[in-house]
Structures are given as C-alpha cells and as structure tokens.
Amino acid sequence: MKNKRIAIIGAGPSGLAQIRAFESAKKQGKEIPEIVCFEKQDNWGGMWNYTWRTGVGKFGEPIHGSMYKYLWSNGPKECLEFSDYSFDEHFKKPISSYPPRPVLFDYIQGRINKSNARDYIRFNTTLRWLTFNEETEKFTLFLDDLKNNKTYEEKFDYVVVATGHFSTPNMPFFEGIDEFPGAVMHAHDFRGADQFIDKDLLLIGSSYSAEDIGVQCYKHGSKSVTLSYRSNPIGLSWPKGIEERPLVTHFEGSKAFFKDGTSKEFDAVVMCTGYQHKFPFLPSYLRLKTENNLYPDHLYKGIFFQTQPKLIYLGMQDQYYTFNMFDAQAWLSRDYMMGDFKLPSKEEQRKDIDQWLEKYSKVDDPKEDVDFQADYIKDLIQMTDYPDFNVEKVGEMFKQWLQDKEDNILTYRDKTFRSVLTGTMAEEHHTEWMDEMDDSLERYLMKEDKAEKKTAVLS
Ligand code: FAD
Ligand code: NA7
C-alpha cells in the first residue's frame, strides 16, 4: 500500500473530499498510500475560492472560478452538510439555511484545517497532460509548476480527476451579437450586479445561473431583467422588473429580437448557457465526454472510468446534492484504491450503468431528479463507511426548496430547515435576504442587535 501513489487533480470540494476520505482511513489505523493533490490555484476550495479575476490568472492560466460577489447558497445548507462535520460543530451556534459564499467557504475549510491536508497539496501546479502505460500500469503526469515556470513528470498508480465542470463556458452565437454595442459576457465572467445597476439586462438561458444572476441584478437595482429561454421558461411568477421571453433570434445594434416577434433594447447580455465538461489534460480515449446531466455514461457507480478504472472522476454529475455526494463518491473511490472494494467484470459494470441510465431516462421533472440522485447516493453509501445520513429526508428538503422558490423567488432564502445530522433548526438570518446587501462572514455572524444598527446606518 505504502508504495502506491495517488494523484488527485483539483483541491475543490471533490478533491478535498478525497483527501478527507484517506485521512479518515488513516485515523482508523489503516496504512494509506502516498497522496499528492495538484491544484492550479494558490488556495483550495475550488469554486468557493472567489476570485475577482476573469480571463486568465496571474500565471496566464484560464480562470477557474465562476462564482460572484453577493452569491448566497442556492439550496438549503442542510442539504449539503458533510455527514462527518456538522454546521453546529463548525459554527458552534445555529445559523440560517442559506449562507453566503464566504460562510460556506469557511465551513469547507473548517473540516480540513484541523488536519494536515495542506501538506498533500501542491498549489500553483497545473496538470498539463498524462499518459498511461499498459505494461507498467502507471500514469505519467506532466505538471507545470506555475510559480517557478518549471515543468516536470511524475508517475502514479491512480488518478482522481476532481477538476469540476462549471468552468469552461458554453458560448453560443446569435446573429448580430458581434455588433452589440454593450457588454457581452458568459456567466463564468460575471462577478456581481454592480455594473448592471440601472441597466436593461438580457440573460440567455433558463437554469440556475439565469435565475440567480437575474434575481441578484433585480435585487441590486437593474432597471429590467429579461430571461430568454431555448426549451422551457423557468416559469416562476416573477416580480415586476423580471420577465421571460422565448429565445433570441438575432440582434440589430442594441436591440434583441425574440422568437415570439417581440424586441427590446438592452445595455448588456449575459450568456447563462451552461458549461462544458473539459479535460484538456487527458488524451481523448480517457476523456469523459458528456452533457451536464445526473448520470454521465461510461462511469461505473458514477466515478470509475469504464475503460480504465484507475482513472476516477469525482463530482461530474449535475448537482442537487453536492458536498455529501462528493464525499460518498470519494469514500468509495478510496476503498477501491486501497483494495477494499473490488470492481465487478466489465460486463457487470456495463449492466449496472445501463440500469441507471434506463432509470434516468424515465425521470422527467425536478422532484424526480432529486429522488434519482438520492437513490444514487444511497447506493454509494451502502458500499462504504461514509457516515450514513438521512438521504430521503434531505430529498424532502430539496422538494420543499423547489416549492419555496415557486411560491416566491425573492423570499425562499429566508426559509429555515432542520439538520438531519444534529436535529438543529436553522436560525432566521438577522436581515431578510432582499434587504441584505453585505455578504461578508463578519456581518453574517454578527449578533442581531449589532446587525440592526448597521442596517439602520445603511438605510
Ligand atoms: P470545483 O469546485 O470546480 O473545483 C475544481 C478544482 O480543480 C479547482 O480548484 C480548479 O482550480 C482545479 N483544477 C482544474 N483544472 C486543473 C488542472 N488542470 N490542474 C490542477 N488543478 C485544476 N453548489 C452548492 O452546493 N451550493 C451552491 O449554492 C452552489 N452555487 C454555485 C454557483 C456557481 C456560480 C457555480 C459555478 C457552482 C455552484 N455550485 C453550488 C456547485 C459547485 O460547483 C460545487 O459546490 C463544488 O464547487 C464542486 O466541487 P468540485 O471540487 O467538483 O469542483
Ligand atoms: P445549466 O444548468 O447546465 O443550464 C444551461 C442553460 O443554458 C439551460 O437553460 C440551457 O437551455 C441553456 N442553453 C444552453 N445552450 C443554449 C443555447 N445555445 N441557446 C440558448 N440557451 C442555451 O447551467 P447553469 O450555468 O445554469 O448552472 C450550472 C451550475 O452553476 C449550477 O450547478 C449552479 O449551482 C450554478 P435548455 O434547457 O438546455 O434548452
């Protein structure tokens, strides 16, 4: 075991889950393999590690981050709680159900700060390419030490790809957009509503990014927000100032024309048109090629690459469940790498994948999506020793969340939920979400009386 070497690519929630899984085995007295995690940024946290930068970073690497200022959790925190590290353990007091990004970033770090996880990670290091040698059964990784501008190679027995899939924009073309006089960007480059105050904003897309960026811009004072859908509208009862229209057909100057024959002038366009699964460091025969969905094909148990299971992908599914799903995946992948979980024959793997795909083909609304992902997680957990949690109950919370959004998209983040781990009921945040313009950790954790004073000063 000691001689085995494991490479983890990316130190976001998925990569950190993999480190945590090995640490948990170590705590139980097991001998663990040598682990090296490569992270191209200078800190961990993946998406949750906010950057103001867009385009390329200081070393010329494509910017990974797609998160923006004033981003609050888009689902109840009780649905993503690590089952081996509760919010109570971290914050020592109840907090609200929809914390802002810096608070969740703090929580993610809390679990690993206590360990020596940093020692496993080589920051500012990008994986450029890898090859697999069938005879030696080893991967050779070609790495780029960005700080020292130095490339080098290292050999590993297993590679865990935890590089996320909400980073490389899917950027469609619409006739006339190349002449549009205002700002045109992808959601990946959106860094907050500030520049869109008093502007007429067009968002193309009808999923999470369109919904959340649209509502944030409305909250922070955009003049109007128009969401343009390709397949289906989001279909909520929007407040005055947000509307949905069918897909843009073309642009003429700053005017957009829509499929229903209407048109409107805009100051800016944000493409909320999703992301590509992109693995430029993998040869095509090892690349996962998939759309953003709940069960990408060719991954046994959603993680083991079927033609080469020593290559493991974490977190590649579209996500209702997030951190706890990455954990369950990472625990099972650890068991496999440590020899405690054996893969069945290729045929049986294929049969299992096909069964999941068949089940998935029958899913056709968000509530069924939740049930499907819950079943997937239960399947993972019964194969490993990730601390069990009430997956069903979390599923019910997701369904309530869907209902809350339908009832009122502006107030759903004021709702509270009960932790399935600790039984703790979340507290109401001291300020209603629509009135809360400050997303800092300091303000969030402020006592109610102090927070009231600050609101009074602001108003
Ligand atoms: P990531 O967080 O994307 O981390 C991948 C890591 O891999 C990064 O640190 C990156 O730098 C590194 N990396 C990439 N390529 C290389 C390379 N070649 N070499 C070395 N390192 C590399 N989830 C929620 O639960 N709640 C939310 O409210 C929520 N909001 C979201 C809002 C936005 C705008 C986006 C984009 C996502 C949101 N998510 C949310 C989902 C989010 O993606 C997951 O919570 C989580 O960050 C996924 O973790 P990950 O580790 O799989 O990927
Ligand atoms: P999603 O959830 O993958 O959604 C992508 C959206 O973009 C979806 O509504 C698509 O419409 C739409 N899309 C894709 N291509 C086009 C074109 N060519 N024209 C018009 N519309 C298009 O991505 P998100 O960014 O919303 O969410 C990703 C994550 O970020 C999520 O986990 C959040 O937590 C934050 P479709 O319905 O396919 O017709």
Q: Could you report the per-residue pLDDT of 284-339, keeping only the tens digit for each?
A: 999 999 999 999 999 999 999 999 999 999 999 999 999 999 999 999 999 999 99
Domain boundary among 251, 271, 291: 271
322 lines ligand 1 (CB under 6 A): yes
**Which tokens hold the place of 213?**
């960026």
Banded model confidence at residue 2, pLDDT cuts 50, 70, 90: low
Task: Identify whether residues 199 and 80 lie together within a single domain.
Answer: no
Task: Identify whether residues 16 and 48 lie together within a single domain.
Answer: yes
Domain membership of residue 50 as a residue range: 5-167+275-399
Banded model confidence at residue 277, pLDDT cuts 50, 70, 90: very high
Unique residue bearing structure tokens 């781990």: 421
124 lines ligand 1 (CB under 6 A): no
Task: Identify whether residues 181 and 239 lie together within a single domain.
Answer: yes
Domain boundary among 209, 244, 271: 271
Q: What is the mean pLDDT of residues 211-223?
A: 98
Unique residue bearing structure tokens 């959603």: 302
From 66, 71, 230, give the residue whose CB has the most ligand 2 atoms within 8 Å, as the site to mutate: 230
139 lines ligand 1 (CB under 6 A): no
Are the C-beta atoms of 204 and 268 separated by less than 8 Å? Answer: no
Rounded to whole angstroms, the maximal C-alpha distance in the chain is: 70
In a domain, 413, yes or no: no
Task: Identify whether residues 162 and 189 lie together within a single domain.
Answer: no
Taking 70 as the threshold, does the pLDDT of residue 432 lie above it? yes
Nearest ligand to the C-alpha of residue 64? 1
| Counted domains in the chain | 2
Give the per-residue pLDDT at 447: 79
Banded model confidence at residue 453, pLDDT cuts 50, 70, 90: low
In a domain, 376, yes or no: yes
Q: What is the mean pLDDT of residues 348-357?
A: 98
In a domain, 219, yes or no: yes
Banded model confidence at residue 454, pLDDT cuts 50, 70, 90: low
Lowest-confidence region among 114-123, 270-279, 343-352, 423-432: 114-123
Task: Identify whether residues 375 and 356 lie together within a single domain.
Answer: yes
In a domain, 40, yes or no: yes
Give the per-residue pLDDT at 285: 97
Domain with residue 252: its CATH number is: 3.50.50.60
From 41, 69, 166, give the residue whose CB has the most ligand 1 atoms within 8 Å, as the site to mutate: 166
Taking 50 as the threshold, does the pLDDT of residue 458 lie above it? no
For residue 444, count CB atoms less than 10 angstroms from its CB and return exposed for 0-12, middle for 13-18, buried for 19 or more.
buried
User: Which residues, including other chains, have CB under 8 Å from residue 290's CB and lie 6 or more apart?
Assistant: 277, 296, 297, 298, 316
pTM of structure: 0.97
Are the C-beta atoms of 193 and 222 separated by less than 8 Å? Answer: yes
In angstroms, the CA 62 to CA 279 distance is: 13
Task: Identify whether residues 232 and 310 lie together within a single domain.
Answer: no
Task: Identify whether residues 26 and 131 lie together within a single domain.
Answer: yes
121 lines ligand 2 (CB under 6 A): no
Task: Identify whether residues 235 and 293 lie together within a single domain.
Answer: no
3-state secondary structure of 225: strand
Task: Identify whether residues 224 and 311 lie together within a single domain.
Answer: no
Pairing of the two strands 121-122 and 34-38: parallel
In a domain, 459, yes or no: no
In a domain, 125, yes or no: yes
Q: What is the mean pLDDT of residues 348-367?
A: 98
Give the per-residue pLDDT at 114: 82
- Ligand 2 centroid – CA 272 distance (Å): 6
Domain boundary among 238, 271, 304: 271
Task: Identify whether residues 226 and 112 lie together within a single domain.
Answer: no
Banded model confidence at residue 421, pLDDT cuts 50, 70, 90: very high
The rounded mean pLDDT for the chain is 96
In angstroms, the CA 142 to CA 17 distance is: 24
The letter for the amino acid at 45 is G
- Cβ–Cβ contacts within 10 Å for residue 90, how many? 19
7 lines ligand 2 (CB under 6 A): no
- Rg for the chain, CA atoms, rounded: 23
Banded model confidence at residue 365, pLDDT cuts 50, 70, 90: very high
15 lines ligand 2 (CB under 6 A): no
Task: Identify whether residues 67 and 206 lie together within a single domain.
Answer: no
Instruction: Select from 328, 289, 321 the least CA-distant residue to 21.
Output: 328
The letter for the amino acid at 60 is G
In a domain, 62, yes or no: yes
Phi-psi region of 46 (alpha: psi -120 to 50; beta: other; left: phi over 0): left
Q: What is the mean pLDDT of residues 178-186?
A: 98
In a domain, 329, yes or no: yes
Are the C-beta atoms of 65 and 47 separated by less than 8 Å? Answer: yes
Banded model confidence at residue 115, pLDDT cuts 50, 70, 90: confident
273 lines ligand 2 (CB under 6 A): yes
- The percent of residues above 70 in pLDDT, for the chain, comes to 98
Give the per-residue pLDDT at 456: 45
Task: Identify whether residues 259 and 312 lie together within a single domain.
Answer: no
Q: Give the pLDDT confidence of 47-62 residue by residue, as tens digits.
A: 999 999 999 999 999 9
